[in-house]
Homo-oligomer: A and B are copies of this chain.
Amino acid sequence: MLEPLFLQLEQHDVVSEAEQALLAATISAPRDFAVGQDLVSAGSRPTYSTLLVDGLAARYKVLEDGGRQFTSLQVPGDFVDLHAFLLKTMDHGIVALSPCRVLIADHNRLRKITETAPHLTRLLWLDTLVDGAIHREWIVAMGRRSKTSHLAHLVCELYVRLKVVKRTSGMSFRLTLKQAELADVLGLSVVHMNRIIGELRKLGVITWADQSLTIVDWERLQEIAEFDPTYLSLVRESR
């Protein structure tokens, strides 16, 4: 069940068998969440971190006027709230966008890892750093890209991240988001989100129906997005 996590970690560096065993011993208790449920709620102080192993989840904040903004999308193999291990208090919620299965890693055990397994510690740290790199890319997209380019970039990113954990088939992947939720990713109104999607469809670079998104023209999509996957650190080297 830890496979997606290992697939992700091994993109960055070699993970020894001892380290894999240590992770396996740290993580326990599978749990399932239904669509719309909070995996972790804002303001809470969890004593464990949550590893997503199946489904799609998102971090979000809600403003006083009711507006919601997603700050990240989480795919299988992502530690959705590893940062809570040190930040202690959740400053945002995490919601299931599809049925989700998660595993639990107790903070005491994570602390043990930091005390006994420096290399594995660095890999977990790196996990949160990639998270930050994705955030930066989103900021750039929100600030300076056209909406069409922003959406294209998101599709590229999701495709690459899902491919790493073998959740793609060919140039397609399941995307269980509603358009209203996508709008909360890009910071748009639902109506306009719909038109932007129509834009990419009309350009013939994607199709999206029945929760299945297919990239029809990967080259063109990358161009529109100015997508450069460097920020995902998908290079296996000593860390």
Residues of A in contact with B (beta carbons under 8 Å apart): 59, 61, 63-64, 67-69, 71-72, 83, 86-89, 91-92, 111, 114-115, 118, 121-122, 125-126, 128-133, 135-140, 142-145, 184, 186-187, 226, 230-231, 233, 235, 237, 239
In whole Å, how far is A141's beta carbon from the nearest beta carbon of chain B?
A: 9
Report chain B residues within 8 Å CB of A71: 135-136, 139-140
In whole Å, how far is A86's beta carbon from the nearest beta carbon of chain B?
A: 4
In whole Å, how far is A177's beta carbon from the nearest beta carbon of chain B?
A: 15
In whole Å, how far is A126's beta carbon from the nearest beta carbon of chain B?
A: 4
- The secondary structure that dominates the A interface is helix
Copies of this chain held together in the complex: 2
Residue of B nearest to A115 (CB): B118
Interface centre among A87, A92, A145 (most CB of B within 10 A): A87
Known: A72-B136, A91-B230. 13 other contacts (CB 8 A): A63-B144, A69-B139, A69-B144, A71-B139, A86-B239, A87-B233, A111-B118, A118-B121, A125-B128, A135-B136, A135-B139, A138-B139, A143-B184
